[in-house]
A and B are shown apart, each in its own frame.
Chain A
Amino acid sequence: MATPAESLSLENDQPLVIAGQSYNSRLLVGTGKYKDNEETRLAIEASGAEIITVAIRRTNIGQNPDEPNLLDVIPVDKYTLLPNTAGCYTAEDAIRTCRLARELLDGHKLVKLEVLGDEKTLFPDVTATMEAAEILVKDGFDVMVYTNDDPLIAKRLEDIGCAAVMPLAAPIGSGLGIRNPYNILTIVENANVPILVDAGVGTASDAAIAMELGCDGILMNTAIAAAQNPVLMASAMKKATEAGREAFLAGRMPRKRFASASSPIDGLFF
């Protein structure tokens, strides 16, 4: 979707538009795996993210009635919540989760759809994902869909009417970085909806690479939450996302096999 613009800086950049809403930050972050709610709050603040993912789970009954809920700690008015269907292995469970999320969040339509196929890799079950996406789109949801780095499937998910397509960089939580940059590039070049790399980013340079490829944004969780210092890593990811975006807009130099001197030959005095 994205093409290098005549921008001189990020201030002139187009915002990220998902389902008609504009966002200035192209970094989306998860809220799982943090030490506690306070660390979550500080990390998402440092990331500059405007969209944050949450999971839908059974309420703890009885044991800890006064346990603080994430949504009571995070200033929810500051963020767009993106409920996910993590842990769902069937289209039916994913659809059920999205409908509960819509009720929980007062009619909220934006969801992150993921239908997993395998516990070891957490790779998506692509056919079940497409089945769920069709039903959710018809039901009025704005679907941001987690998928494999397969350009054909990405296009089909766009054709179904997904609001954004989110190919993985590497398995969820693996931190292996962008394993297949050319596929991501092909997905980006073919797309008419925002493409966000979701899952597999490990450190700041991975985020920069995703953005340099022309991705419209990045969604990550573990790369920040599992860092030794999550709040500092959140800040690094913010800068890397912006740096990668600027580099994409700037248009990189062509690669050359041999050297090309940076200082002029003319005027040498020996």
Chain B
Amino acid sequence: MNISVNGENRTIEANSNLAQLLEALDLQGKRIAVEVNRDIVPRSEYGSFVLSDNDQVEIVNAIGGG
């Protein structure tokens, strides 16, 4: 199935959960926050959050800023 991650299209296996996506992106354990379809998914729910076709995933972190 196809999802969007930070504006880029990606194909992932059907019924993948968020934890699996983050692992594939090498982001597990990193200081990030995640939104799916504009709703925040708490860190504790990554493993149980099953992604759906056309989901819009945003992954953010903190960078330098004023």
Contacts and interface: CB of A to CB of B under 8 A. Distances in A.
A56 B62 CA distance: 5
Contacts of A100: 33, 35, 40, 58, 60
B25 A30 contact: no
B62 A83 contact: yes
A221 interface: yes
10 contacts: A54-B65, A55-B65, A56-B61, A59-B27, A61-B6, A70-B62, A84-B66, A99-B40, A100-B40, A104-B32
Interface string B7-32: 11000000000000000011100111
A69 interface: yes
Interface stretch (A31-39, A176-184, A210-218): A31-39
B65 A104 contact: no
Interface residues of B, number: 26
B66 A103 contact: no
Given A72-B31, A101-B62, 16 more contacts: A40-B64, A54-B64, A55-B63, A57-B65, A58-B58, A61-B6, A69-B61, A69-B63, A84-B66, A96-B35, A101-B33, A103-B40, A104-B33, A105-B62, A220-B66, A221-B66
Interface residues of A, number: 39
A33 B33 contact: no
A222 B65 CA distance: 10
B66 A33 contact: yes
Contacts of A72: 31
Interface of A: 30-34, 37, 40, 53-59, 61-62, 65, 69-72, 81, 83-84, 86, 96, 99-101, 103-105, 172-173, 199, 219-222
A65 B43 CA distance: 20
Contacts of B64: 30-34, 37, 40, 54-55, 70
A32 B62 contact: no
A70 B31 CA distance: 10
Nearest to B43: A103
A65 B24 CA distance: 11
Contact of B62 (A65, A104, A173): A104
B8 A61 contact: yes
B34 to A, nearest CB: 8
Given A61-B25, A69-B30, A100-B35, A55 B8 contact: no
